[in-house]
Amino acid sequence: MSPDRKPQERVGVYVCHCGSNIAGVVDVADVGEWAGKELEPHGVVVARDYKFMCSSLGQELIAKDIKEQGLTRVVVAACSPHLHEPTFRTACSRAGLNPYLFEMANIREQDSWVTTDKLEATKKAKALIAAAVGRVVHQQPLESLFVPVDPNVLVVGGGVTGIQAALEIANSGRHVYLVEREPSIGGHMAQFDKTFPTLDCSACILTPKMFDAGNHKNITMLTWSEVEKVEGHIGNFTVTIRKRARYIDESLCTGCGVCWEKCPKKVVDQVFEAGLGFRKAVYTPFPQAVPKYPVIDRENCTYFQKGTCKACETYCPAGAIKFDQQDEHLTAKVGNIILATGYDLFDSRKITNYGYGRLANVFSSLEFERMTNAAGPTMGRVVLRDGVTQPKSVAVIHCVGSRDKNYHNYCSAVCCMQSLKSAHLIKEKTGGDVYQFYIDMRTPAKTYDEFYQRIIREGVNMVRGKVAEITDTALEPGEEGKLVVQVEDTLIGRQRRIPVDMVVLSAGLEARHDAKEVAQRFGISCSADEWFIERHPKLDPVATMTDGVFVAGACQGPKDIPSSVAQGAAAAARVLSIIGQGQIEIEAATAIVDEVSCVGCKQCVPSCPYRAIEYLAVEGRAHVVEALCKGCGTCVGTCLSKSISLKHFTDDQIVAEVVGAMRVMKSFETTAVA
């Protein structure tokens, strides 16, 4: 390592004001001047400060200097490289400078925005720039690798979001693998009866899309299947999909339904009917299921458990029952992946004082959706758990498990509107009293608040207060045999006990129970609440930090149907634009082995997460397969003889960065002492 060698490079330093974002805290003029003077011995020949470096004028400034001043290195001190490194790299290469000869000093996110003391902030900026300058002179030009993009796409999750994404891509003539865990696509939306605020029938608007997806020539639909392995990178992923045995021969099955008519085994349907209804051991979740083929639920099938029965097989007119069917593992090659894995419903049992699971007539919002659904277990009749009695009064409770540090701290975004919808349906179907218990009414979208007003006009009682408890213990006359909702009506500042026949808990949305595993499988990350993290909350909402992997819909955070559909389409557009480019630039900063000094100790081989290092027995040394290397540098940290280096993150580059920063920090001390 020789970071201190006098550089022959000609470095240009550009300090961005970013309006007042940086200039408001950091004395940019002083920093620029200082860089020009103090860093001259380290190769700086030009140092400027400018209002907005990312503006076209700012970029032209750099290009001009590269041409006229013959700059061989460029440092921009501005925002986070995650925001504008690509911008400036392109600017450099347009001016004929290799983009890898550019370096950025983050003096906004990591300085002006986090430091109160202006003097300290200015000092820190100087240190960071010195570090960048120290580093940049050691950087080497690199040529990016380009790989062709496989035009096939994998969409994971067959809810409305996944369906939308799949259709957009398929309609553009590209091929899509649509993988769904359940026996049918449709997701949560297929379980609903009406959708807010338009109250149009959920099935009526969804089933056509399901049908299209199921019959599209460009869509390979794999239901009752899960992605088990993902290898490769943007442009060419290889995914392994486990297609669970349906015990049905899809080529023969006509979906006539005789099998589930004849099946003697009744099972409580915990998934589609949310535990409110039954299905058979051989079943399709619902009549309009896509595909039409049923599955046999092994755990509950009498034949699989006891070895006798086979009623389905006996009666199947097409001979499509295949008890000996095995799980299959398919591999698919795709260039891009869209995750649309959706959400789970918060389990209201966790809130003991609401009595869900203990008090019979406390229902979850999803149970209620099934109940009001004309195709549901009660044929759309709103009744108590006994299945016959119509409630005369119903309480709908908001924010169950949401906006509560004991459960989920976030707002689930859809519950207010969903609760208002439930209130309307209850009124419509029972004519009884309906109470809404809310903390804040959140209706922030087109025609949502109008819907709220409509519900008020319909005579629903609005009580502002988070319900304290639901009890069946009568304390006052009129409470016997009722569920009593105890709450502070915060608008009158009084405690109220409101007896009702039925309670509907608008449970919040939470990340899928296996979100973390899925994130790891696809190499993306989760937030603290386990929602998938997008690349940028505002400007890049469907991309992730892993190129070629996109997220859409509720798997990224609570969302209603319109926003989910919009994201599905957005993700599809992003993918299509990549496919359109035909080829994609991949990481040029890969590892390389020094053939001379490598002693072939093989330490690095297991350290590589991508098996990109092979041991060449003949030469007795390690070798990095560039196409597989993703440039993490773990091997470099492992290598004992320092024979592997990572391009663009070499030891001398990093050390030079350290040295640069330390030198300046020390200089400030001495001046401070003096």
What SS3 state is found at 320?
A: coil
Least distance to other proteins from the beta carbon of 351, Å? 9
Beta strands in 234-281 (DSSP E): 236-243, 266-269, 277-280
Letters for 365-404 (x = contact with other proteins by CB under 8 A, - = none) are ----------------------------------x---xx
Least distance to other proteins from the beta carbon of 598, Å? 16
Tallying the residues shown for the chain, one arrives at: 674
Rg of the chain (C-alpha set): 31
Stretch of residues binding other proteins (CB under 8 A), selected from 30-38, 252-260, 613-621, 626-634: 626-634
Sign for the pseudo-dihedral over CA of 643, 644, 648, 654: negative
Which amino acid type is present at position 186? G
115 binds other proteins, rule: CB under 8 A: yes
- Residue 64 or 642 with smaller CB distance to other proteins: 642
Distance between CA atoms of residues 421 and 425, nearest Å: 6
Between CA 156 and CA 164, with CA 158 as vertex, the angle to 5 degrees is 95
Distance between CA atoms of residues 278 and 266, nearest Å: 6
145 binds other proteins, rule: CB under 8 A: no
Stretch of residues binding other proteins (CB under 8 A), selected from 361-369, 446-454, 492-500, 554-562: 492-500
Which residue shows structure tokens 């009293």? 433
Between CA 580 and CA 588, with CA 585 as vertex, the angle to 5 degrees is 175
**Count of CB atoms situated within 10 Å of the CB of 674:** 5
Least distance to other proteins from the beta carbon of 472, Å? 7
Distance between CA atoms of residues 449 and 197, nearest Å: 9
Least distance to other proteins from the beta carbon of 462, Å? 12
- Residue 246 or 535 with smaller CB distance to other proteins: 535
Q: Which of residues 24-63 bind other proteins (CB under 8 A)?
A: none
414 binds other proteins, rule: CB under 8 A: no
Question: Which member of 8, 116, 308, 671 binds other proteins (CB under 8 A)?
Answer: 116
467 binds other proteins, rule: CB under 8 A: yes
- Are 151 and 175 spatial neighbours (Cβ–Cβ below 8 Å)? yes
Question: What crossing angle do the helices spanning 56-68 and 81-94 adopt, rounded to 10°?
Answer: 50
- Are 319 and 312 spatial neighbours (Cβ–Cβ below 8 Å)? no
Letters for 628-657 (x = contact with other proteins by CB under 8 A, - = none) are --xxxxx-xxxx--x---x--x-x--xx-x
325 binds other proteins, rule: CB under 8 A: no
Among 156, 105, 82, 106, smallest CA distance to 536 is for 82
- List C-alpha distances in Å: 640 to 377, 562, 592, 619: 67, 55, 15, 19
Q: Which of residues 147-186 bind other proteins (CB under 8 A)?
A: none
Question: Which member of 472, 514, 594, 626 binds other proteins (CB under 8 A)?
Answer: 472
- Residue 82 or 266 with smaller CB distance to other proteins: 82
292 binds other proteins, rule: CB under 8 A: no
Distance between CA atoms of residues 469 and 347, nearest Å: 16
Stretch of residues binding other proteins (CB under 8 A), selected from 123-131, 145-153, 364-372, 377-385: 123-131
Question: What crossing angle do the helices spanning 561-581 and 160-171 adopt, rounded to 10°?
Answer: 30
Letters for 73-92 (x = contact with other proteins by CB under 8 A, - = none) are -------xxx----------
Q: Token digits for 292?
A: 């039409």
Letters for 346-365 (x = contact with other proteins by CB under 8 A, - = none) are ------xx------------
Q: Which of residues 559-618 bind other proteins (CB under 8 A)?
A: 589, 607, 609-610
Stretch of residues binding other proteins (CB under 8 A), selected from 50-58, 102-110, 279-287, 296-304: 102-110
Between CA 440 and CA 450, with CA 445 as vertex, the angle to 5 degrees is 75
Least distance to other proteins from the beta carbon of 231, Å? 11
266 binds other proteins, rule: CB under 8 A: no
Question: Which member of 267, 318, 468, 628 binds other proteins (CB under 8 A)?
Answer: 468
Question: Which member of 175, 262, 496, 623 binds other proteins (CB under 8 A)?
Answer: 496
Question: Which member of 145, 252, 545, 592 binds other proteins (CB under 8 A)?
Answer: 545
Could you tell me how many residues of this chain bind other proteins (CB under 8 A)? Answer: 97
- Residue 259 or 455 with smaller CB distance to other proteins: 455
Q: Which of residues 498-527 bind other proteins (CB under 8 A)?
A: 498-499, 516, 519-520, 523, 525-527
Q: Which residues contact 273 (CB under 8 A, 6 or more apart)?
A: 279, 370, 376, 377
What SS3 state is found at 232?
A: strand
Q: Which residues contact 620 (CB under 8 A, 6 or more apart)?
A: 600
Query: Could you tell me which residues are beta bridge partners of residue 222?
Result: 179
- Are 542 and 524 spatial neighbours (Cβ–Cβ below 8 Å)? no
Question: Which member of 9, 38, 65, 111 binds other proteins (CB under 8 A)?
Answer: 111
Q: Which of residues 421-460 bind other proteins (CB under 8 A)?
A: 435, 439
**Count of CB atoms situated within 10 Å of the CB of 431:** 11
106 binds other proteins, rule: CB under 8 A: yes
Least distance to other proteins from the beta carbon of 497, Å? 6
625 binds other proteins, rule: CB under 8 A: no
478 binds other proteins, rule: CB under 8 A: yes
Distance between CA atoms of residues 103 and 123, nearest Å: 19
Least distance to other proteins from the beta carbon of 289, Å? 35
Least distance to other proteins from the beta carbon of 98, Å? 19
- Residue 112 or 365 with smaller CB distance to other proteins: 112
555 binds other proteins, rule: CB under 8 A: no
Question: Which member of 271, 360, 627, 658 binds other proteins (CB under 8 A)?
Answer: 658
Distance between CA atoms of residues 645 and 590, nearest Å: 9
Q: Which of residues 206-245 bind other proteins (CB under 8 A)?
A: none
- Residue 118 or 329 with smaller CB distance to other proteins: 118
- Residue 130 or 455 with smaller CB distance to other proteins: 130
Sign for the pseudo-dihedral over CA of 232, 234, 238, 239: positive
**DSSP readout, 416-482?**
HHHHHHHHHHHHHHH--EEEEEESS----STTHHHHHHHHHHTTPEEEES---EEE----STT-TTS
